[in-house]
């Protein structure tokens, strides 16, 4: 399929809304004429660089998010499970290690990037388990079939300057595109990057791409 449009998804597995967008884009990557590229980035770095604050910092918005995520999870058919306790859990979870691990995977074993990213979301947002400790990361890797020896090598890699710099550069690149939160989709159309923010902007993305929107679960 010639002339495919490059579509980049900048993501961090701490974001439940990003999981929704990730799954829909995964479903459409073989339907639309796009070259979907997963770009692991660090949401904490983006928030700091742009002066953004967690959406749940506003109590009324936090109330809305609980209802909104529940509705969207049903609509998109993604098993996100969220409660009021999760707001504090997100604040107390550092995903830097997970995102460095995914960066190391992207650099050396890219075929595992999609299933591994999904498994991090499942663990954190469906099973409400830890994803910050090395033991947890190894368990996630085992779930998607990474050999333990390879997982150990990737774990050793994630503290290397190469991986740290790659994640930092990807995060900075996102900010240059105008990203201030996630999910952030950048579509490269006629040499111009166009930013779409939010999992509820994918229908608009399809229109700009000139592709058909077949719903959140295309049949």
Structural domains counted in the chain: 1
18 part of a folded domain: yes
| pLDDT of 2 above 70 | no
218 part of a folded domain: no
Q: What is the pTM of this model?
A: 0.96
120 part of a folded domain: yes
214 part of a folded domain: no
217 part of a folded domain: no
> What local confidence, expressed as pLDDT, does residue 193 receive?
98
pLDDT in tens, 74-102: 999 999 999 999 998 898 899 999 999 99
Task: Please list the active-site residues.
Answer: 15
47 part of a folded domain: yes
107 part of a folded domain: yes
Domain that holds residue 187: 5-209
pLDDT in tens, 47-71: 999 999 988 889 999 999 999 999 9
**CATH for 186:** 3.40.30.10
78 part of a folded domain: yes
- The 3-class secondary structure across the chain, one letter per residue, is CCCCEEEEEEECCCCHHHHHHHHHHHHHCCCCCEEEEEEECCHHHHHHHHCCCCHHHCHHHHHHHHHHHHHHHHHHCCCCCCCCHHHHHHHCCCCHHHHHHHHHHHHHCHHHHHHHHHHHHHHHHHCCCCCCCHHHHHHHHHHCCCCHHHHHHHHHHCCCHHHHHHHHHHHHHHHHCCCCCCCEEEEEECCEEEEEECHHHHHHHHHHHCCCCCCCCCC
């Amino acid at each position: 399929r010639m002339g495919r449009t490059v579509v980049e998804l900048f993501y961090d597995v701490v974001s439940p809304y990003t999981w929704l967008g990730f799954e829909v884009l995964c479903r459409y990557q073989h339907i639309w004429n796009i070259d979907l590229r997963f770009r692991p980035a660090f949401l904490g770095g983006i928030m700091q660089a742009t002066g953004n604050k967690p959406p749940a910092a506003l109590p009324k918005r936090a109330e809305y998010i609980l209802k909104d995520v529940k509705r969207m999870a049903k609509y998109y058919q993604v098993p996100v499970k969220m409660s009021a306790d999760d707001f504090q859990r997100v604040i107390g979870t550092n995903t830097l290690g997970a995102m460095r691990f995914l960066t190391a995977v992207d650099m050396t074993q890219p075929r595992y990037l999609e299933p591994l990213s999904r498994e991090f979301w499942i663990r954190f947002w469906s099973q409400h388990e830890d994803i910050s400790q090395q033991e947890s990361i190894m368990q996630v890797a085992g779930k998607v079939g990474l050999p333990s020896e390879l997982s150990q090598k990737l774990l050793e890699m994630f503290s290397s300057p190469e991986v740290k710099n790659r994640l930092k550069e990807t995060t900075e690149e996102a900010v240059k595109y105008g990203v201030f939160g996630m999910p952030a989709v950048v579509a490269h159309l006629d040499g111009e990057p166009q930013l779409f923010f939010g999992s509820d902007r994918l229908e608009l993305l399809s229109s700009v791409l000139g592709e058909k929107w077949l719903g959140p679960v295309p049949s």
